Copies of this chain bind each other. A is one copy, B any other.
Amino acid sequence: MDQGGTRFRLLKAAGEIISRKGFRAATVREICARAGANVASVKYYFGGKKRLYEELLRYSFEESLRNYPPDPGLPADASPTDRLRAFIRSYLMRLHDEGRSSWFGKLMTREMFEPTEALDQIVEQAIRPLALMLRELVRQLAGAELNAGEVLLCGVSIAAQCQHFYRARAVVTRVYPELRLDRQGIEDLTDHILAFSLAAIRGYKRA
With A123-B175, A127-B171 as given contacts, are A196 and B153 in contact (CB-CB < 8 Å)? yes
- A 173-206 contacts with B by CB, 8 A: 174-176, 178-179, 189, 192-204, 206
Closest to A199 in B: B203
A130-174 interface bits toward B, Cβ cutoff 8 Å, 1 = contact, 0 = none = 010000000000000000011011101101110111011011101
Interface residues of A toward B: which range? 35 or more
Min C-beta distance of A196 to chain B, whole Å: 4
Contacts of A127 in B (CB 8 A): 171, 175
Contact check: which of B113, B149, B200 meets A168 at CB < 8 Å? B113
Nearest CB of chain B from residue A133's CB, rounded to whole Å: 12
User: In this assembly, does A118 line the interface, its C-beta being within 8 Å of a C-beta of chain B?
Assistant: no
Q: How many copies does the complex hold?
A: 2
Please tell me if the beta carbons of A202 and B207 are within 8 angstroms of each other in the complex.
yes
Residue ID in chain B nearest A189 by CB atoms: B153
Q: Residue A55 at the B interface, CB < 8 A?
A: no
Collect the chain B residues with CB atoms within 8 Å of residue A112's CB: 167-168, 170-171
Question: Considering only CB atoms, which chain B residue lies closest to A172 in the complex?
Answer: B156
Which residue from B111, B131, B164 sits with its C-beta under 8 Å from A164?
A: B164
Task: Give the shortest distance, in Å, between A161 (CB) and chain B (any CB).
Answer: 5
Cross-chain contact of A203 among B25, B164, B200 (Cβ < 8 A): B200
Does A29 count as interface, using CB distance less than 8 angstroms?
no
Contacts of A30 in B (CB 8 A): none
Name A157's contact: one of B150, B153, B193, B207 (CB within 8 Å). B193
Q: Mark A40-84, 1 if CB is under 8 A from B, else 0.
A: 000000000000000000000000000000000000000000000
Alpha-carbon distance between A73 and B170 when the two chains are bound, in angstroms:
32
